[in-house]
Amino acid sequence: MADWKPGASANNLRARAEILANIRQFFADNNVLEVETPLLARTTATDVYIQSLEIANPLIDVPETLYLQTSPEYAMKRLLGSGAGPIYQICKAFRQGESSNRHNPEFTILEWYQPGYTMDDLMQQVEQLVDTLLAYGRIPRLAYRELFQEHLHFDPHTISLESLKDVASRRMELSGGQLSKTDYLQLLLAKSIEPVMPASCFIYDFPIDQSALAVIENDETGEAVAKRFELFCGGMEIANGYFELVDPAEQRKRFESDRQTRKSLSLPEYPIDEKLLAALEHGIPQCSGVAVGIDRLVMLVTGATDIRAVLSFTTDQT
Same-domain pairing of 96 and 166? no
Position 62 pLDDT exceeds 80: no
Please check whether residues 134 and 281 belong to one and the same domain: yes
Same domain, 210 and 173: no
293 within domain boundaries: yes
| Domain extent for 163 | 145-197
Section 207-224 average pLDDT? 95
Q: What's residue 99's pLDDT?
A: 78
pLDDT in tens, 139-185: 999 999 999 999 999 999 999 999 999 999 898 887 766 889 999 99
Q: Please tell me the distance from the alpha carbon of residue 294 to that of residue 90, in angstroms, as a whole number.
A: 8
Q: Does residue 242 form part of some domain?
A: yes
Which pLDDT belongs to residue 111?
A: 98
Q: What is the pLDDT of residues 220-278, one digit of tens each?
A: 999 999 999 999 999 899 999 999 999 999 999 999 999 999 999 999 999 999 999 99
Quote the CA–CA distance of 69 and 37 in Å, as a whole number: 10
**What is this structure's pTM?**
0.93
Is the same domain home to 178 and 206? no
Spatial distance between the Cα atoms of 128 and 16, rounded to a whole number of angstroms: 19
**177 and 28 inside one domain:** no
Task: Let me know whether 109 and 240 are in one domain.
Answer: yes
Q: Is residue 231 part of a domain?
A: yes
**In the Cβ-directed half-sphere of 33, how many Cα atoms lie within 13 Å?**
12
User: What are the pLDDT digits (tens) for 74-102?
Assistant: 999 999 999 999 999 999 999 997 778 99
Map residue 285 onto helix, strand or coil: coil
Least confident of 44-53, 62-71, 228-237: 62-71
Residue 5 included in any domain? no
Same domain, 130 and 170: no
- Indicate if 273 and 211 belong to the same structural domain: yes
Residue 109 belongs to some domain of the structure: yes
In a domain, 3, yes or no: no
Query: Where residue 1 falls among pLDDT bands split at 50, 70, 90?
Result: low
At 176-209, the pLDDT tens digits run 668 899 999 999 999 999 999 999 999 999 999 9
Q: What is the pLDDT of residue 177?
A: 66
3-state secondary structure of 88: strand
Q: Do both 183 and 208 map to the same domain? A: no
Q: Do 42 and 100 fall within a single domain?
A: yes
Tell whether 4 is covered by a domain: no
What distance separates the 2 farthest-apart alpha carbons in the chain? Answer: 64
Residues 149 and 239 in one domain: no
Sign of the dihedral defined by the CA atoms of residues 142, 148, 154, 156, in that order = negative
- Structural domain total, the chain: 2
Q: For position 64, what pLDDT does the model report?
A: 84
- 37 and 163 housed in the same domain: no
